[in-house]
Amino acid sequence: MHESKISGCKIINLPRIQTESGDITSLNNLENIPFETHRVYYLYDIPNRADRGGHAHKKLFQLVVAVSGSFDIELFDGKEKVKYTLNQPDQGLLIIPGIWRNLNNFSGGGICLVLASHEYDESDYIREIEEYRNYVS
Ligand code: TYD
């Protein structure tokens, strides 16, 4: 039995520094996000009909930001589902370990930036929904 509740995931408001020639958001380790970042990756050139995600992680924390455009993220903890629409570069969705996620409805030019607590490790993924249901029940 693995305890990860969707209520542990939340929107974090990120700092926005406004200048006359555009805005800046700067994320400093442990200051703006509640984990140490060991990897940054981003999804781009995403077809509108694409379904991304479709997995859970065992120990990975992530902060997901729509740095450009918009997309939806649906979270599932084995019981509850919550859908977020991300469309602000100064808002990040914190996803704790043990939460299933699906990303879709990407706008044209949408870019999904992810800060992650660990380096890439395929053995941290649960990619089958039945395996996930067993993991959380
Ligand atoms: P995956 O995490 O399944 O993508 P998404 O959740 O965005 O749909 O990763 C897609 C592919 O990219 C998969 O073959 C693993 C590879 N990958 C890396 O090599 N390094 C990484 O940091 C990530 C996130 C993925």
> CA-CA distance, 92 to 16, in Å (whole number)?
12
Reduce the DSSP state of residue 58 to 3 states and report it. coil
Per-position pLDDT tens, the chain of length 137: 567 899 999 999 999 999 999 999 999 988 889 999 999 999 999 998 999 999 999 999 999 999 999 999 999 999 999 999 999 999 999 999 999 999 999 999 999 999 999 999 999 999 999 999 999 98
Instruction: From the candidates 2, 55, 57, 118, give the one annotated as an active-site residue.
Output: 55
User: Measured from the CA of 114, which atom of ligand 1 is nearest?
Assistant: 24
pLDDT of 1:
56
> CA-CA distance, 55 to 19, in Å (whole number)?
39
pLDDT of 109:
93
List all residues whose CB is within 6 A of at least one atom of ligand 1.
39, 41, 43, 52-53, 120
> Quick check: is 55 catalytic?
yes
pLDDT of 92:
97
> CA-CA distance, 110 to 26, in Å (whole number)?
20
User: Measured from the CA of 101, which atom of ligand 1 is nearest?
Assistant: 6
Beta bridge partners of 76: 81, 100
Q: What string of H, E and C letters represents the secondary structure of 77-120?
A: CCCCEEEEEECCCCEEEEECCCCEEEEECCCCCCEEEEEECCCC
